[in-house]
A and B are shown apart, each in its own frame.
Chain A
Amino acid sequence: MILTADNLTVTRGGIPVLEGVSFALEPGRALVLRGPNGIGKTTLLRTVAGLQPPLAGTLTGAGERVAYAAHADGQKATLSVEENLRFWASVFGQGEIAPALAAYQLEGLRTRAAGQLSAGQKRRLGLARLMVTARPVWVLDEPTVSLDREAVAMFADAVRAHLRAGGSALIATHIELGLDGDALDVAPFRAKPTAADDFDEVFL
């Protein structure tokens, strides 16, 4: 099933930030979102993940098929790496966490409390969570922050394996991952100033 965004307008705090965004993401493909800071990439991703409704336009093939990874990893500091992953696996109705641990080389850390991990290790745990969701569409917001070069390669391998298995990925990132996919620069979709600005002029 193809994830399609058609003429999407997304809002932050009630104000449109991007309008007229359209893309199609086929299984086995990755789409990399680019654009300057503050343009609305996170807002677009949150909309695709279903955390907020779009102001206009339609989104199909998202909803229950999306696994979302935000800036925050959502791991509990007092639970161990293994307990954190097991929790998310059982929330998504999955049992197996070994492949996720292996993909990000977390086996040696499995009994370590997540609060004692370094920033990069924490990020790897956050990304490993995606693999226990068994959802076909990964929606990733700046996934490589605080990862070293090796860990970025692990991440790129994990995404490639996911694409080969028929999944797809929508990634907002500033670095080159070497993935088989397209790039979408969202800067041209910046929303025009709305009628709210004219509202003041009426009184001037």
Chain B
Amino acid sequence: MIALLKRDLALAIRAGGGFGLGLAFFLIVVTLVPFGVGPQSELLSRIAPGILWLGALLACLLSLDRILALDWEDGSLDLLATAPLPMEGIVSIKALAHWLTTGLPLVLAAPVFGVLLNLAGPGFVWLTLSLAIGTPALSVIGTFGAALTVGLKRGGLLMSLLVLPLYVPTLIFGAEVARRGAEGMAVETPLMMLAGISCAVIALLPFASAAVLRVNLR
């Protein structure tokens, strides 16, 4: 399993691996929003937590179809399925590799991008924390979507539509933590909800992903 993680990370950072794709998309969204909204730093400051969370979520969505589709195309998914690794382990490692190459850079870059959106001072900590807790859920849910649509040509559109409603709770509570944090309000309730969603998703969804992947490989 460690070997699979190492291989996926090596593939991601080599040429054409897609590392940085999400980060670049995040940067584009965050730099363009101030131009679109206009020079109203007070308004910008108010919408910053929501925009940052939305940007991170869309950046995550962008690279989801690579999680399993590439392995399916070159046949390594079939071979992994016949290897001694449990399918649940394979999808969990795939989700972890996706988070390390997409989610983690977003978490680390978010405070820097917050400056561009005039995020209020106390918001930086809570934004980073909420992204750190919430983005693993995005990767795991995304892997489930990728498992559902693996083998479909141009399955990316269908996957986005399937995954979108599943992303809504994470977005609501994640953005709420960042917003309340930025305004200096209590964040415990949405933070706990966000953490609860992430824990539940990480604990349960790999079983569902593995089940649909087994069906899709038939």
**A166 on the interface (CB 8 Å rule)?**
no
> Are A92 and B83 neighbours in the complex by a CB distance under 8 Å?
yes
Nearest opposing residue in chain A for B4, CB measure? A91
Docked CA distance A88–B6 (Å)? 12
> Are A68 and B82 neighbours in the complex by a CB distance under 8 Å?
yes
Q: Which residues of A contact B85 (CB under 8 A)?
A: 91
Q: What distance in Å separates the Cβ of A42 from its nearest Cβ neighbour in chain B?
A: 11
Q: Which residues of B contact A68 (CB under 8 A)?
A: 78-79, 82
**For window 58-107 of chain B, which residues contact chain A by CB distance below 8 Å?**
73-76, 78-85
> Are B3 and A79 neighbours in the complex by a CB distance under 8 Å?
no
**B10 on the interface (CB 8 Å rule)?**
yes
**For window 1-27 of chain B, which residues contact chain A by CB distance below 8 Å?**
2-4, 6-7, 10-11, 14-17
Interface 0/1 of A55-93, CB less than 8 Å to B: 000000000101111111111111100010011101111
**A183 on the interface (CB 8 Å rule)?**
no
> Are A72 and B78 neighbours in the complex by a CB distance under 8 Å?
yes
Indicate which residue in A74, A77, A79 contacts B79 across the interface (CB closer than 8 Å): A74
Docked CA distance A155–B82 (Å)? 22
Indicate which residue in A51, A64, A72, A92 contacts B74 across the interface (CB closer than 8 Å): A72
> Are A78 and B3 neighbours in the complex by a CB distance under 8 Å?
no
**B153 on the interface (CB 8 Å rule)?**
no
Q: What distance in Å separates the Cβ of A13 from its nearest Cβ neighbour in chain B?
A: 9
Q: Which residues of B contact A163 (CB under 8 A)?
A: none
Interface 0/1 of A168-189, CB less than 8 Å to B: 0000000000000000000000
Name the prevailing secondary structure of the B interface residues. helix
> Are B17 and A79 neighbours in the complex by a CB distance under 8 Å?
no
> Are A67 and B82 neighbours in the complex by a CB distance under 8 Å?
yes
Q: What distance in Å separates the Cβ of A177 from its nearest Cβ neighbour in chain B?
A: 22
> Are A71 and B83 neighbours in the complex by a CB distance under 8 Å?
no
Question: What total of chain A residues lie within 8 Å of the partner, measured CB to CB?
Answer: 30
> Are A74 and B81 neighbours in the complex by a CB distance under 8 Å?
no
Indicate which residue in B15, B84, B218 contacts A52 across the interface (CB closer than 8 Å): B218
Name the prevailing secondary structure of the A interface residues. loop
**B217 on the interface (CB 8 Å rule)?**
yes
Q: Which residues of A contact B76 (CB under 8 A)?
A: 72, 74-76
Q: Which residues of A contact B14 (CB under 8 A)?
A: 78-79
**For window 28-84 of chain B, which residues contact chain A by CB distance below 8 Å?**
73-76, 78-84
**For window 80-110 of chain A, which residues contact chain B by CB distance below 8 Å?**
83, 86-88, 90-93
> Are A51 and B75 neighbours in the complex by a CB distance under 8 Å?
no
Nearest opposing residue in chain B for A75, CB measure? B74
> Are A51 and B78 neighbours in the complex by a CB distance under 8 Å?
yes
Known: A70-B79, A74-B79, A76-B74. A51 touches B84 (CB 8 A): no
Indicate which residue in A72, A88, A92 contacts B75 across the interface (CB closer than 8 Å): A72
Q: Which residues of B contact A73 (CB under 8 A)?
A: 74-75
> Are A79 and B10 neighbours in the complex by a CB distance under 8 Å?
yes
**A125 on the interface (CB 8 Å rule)?**
no
Q: Which residues of B contact A66 (CB under 8 A)?
A: 82
**A49 on the interface (CB 8 Å rule)?**
yes
> Are B83 and A91 neighbours in the complex by a CB distance under 8 Å?
yes
**A20 on the interface (CB 8 Å rule)?**
no
Docked CA distance A91–B89 (Å)? 12
> Are B217 and A52 neighbours in the complex by a CB distance under 8 Å?
yes
Docked CA distance A49–B82 (Å)? 7
Q: What distance in Å separates the Cβ of A89 from its nearest Cβ neighbour in chain B?
A: 9
Q: Which residues of B contact A92 (CB under 8 A)?
A: 83-84
Q: What distance in Å separates the Cβ of A137 from its nearest Cβ neighbour in chain B?
A: 11
Docked CA distance A136–B185 (Å)? 63
Q: A64-B84, A72-B78, A91-B3 are in contact. List 13 more A-B contacts (CB 8 A).
A: A46-B78, A46-B218, A51-B217, A68-B78, A72-B73, A74-B78, A76-B7, A78-B11, A79-B10, A79-B14, A92-B83, A92-B84, A129-B79
Sort A-B residue pairs by CB-CB distance and give the 4 closest, nearest first.
A72-B75, A74-B76, A90-B3, A52-B218
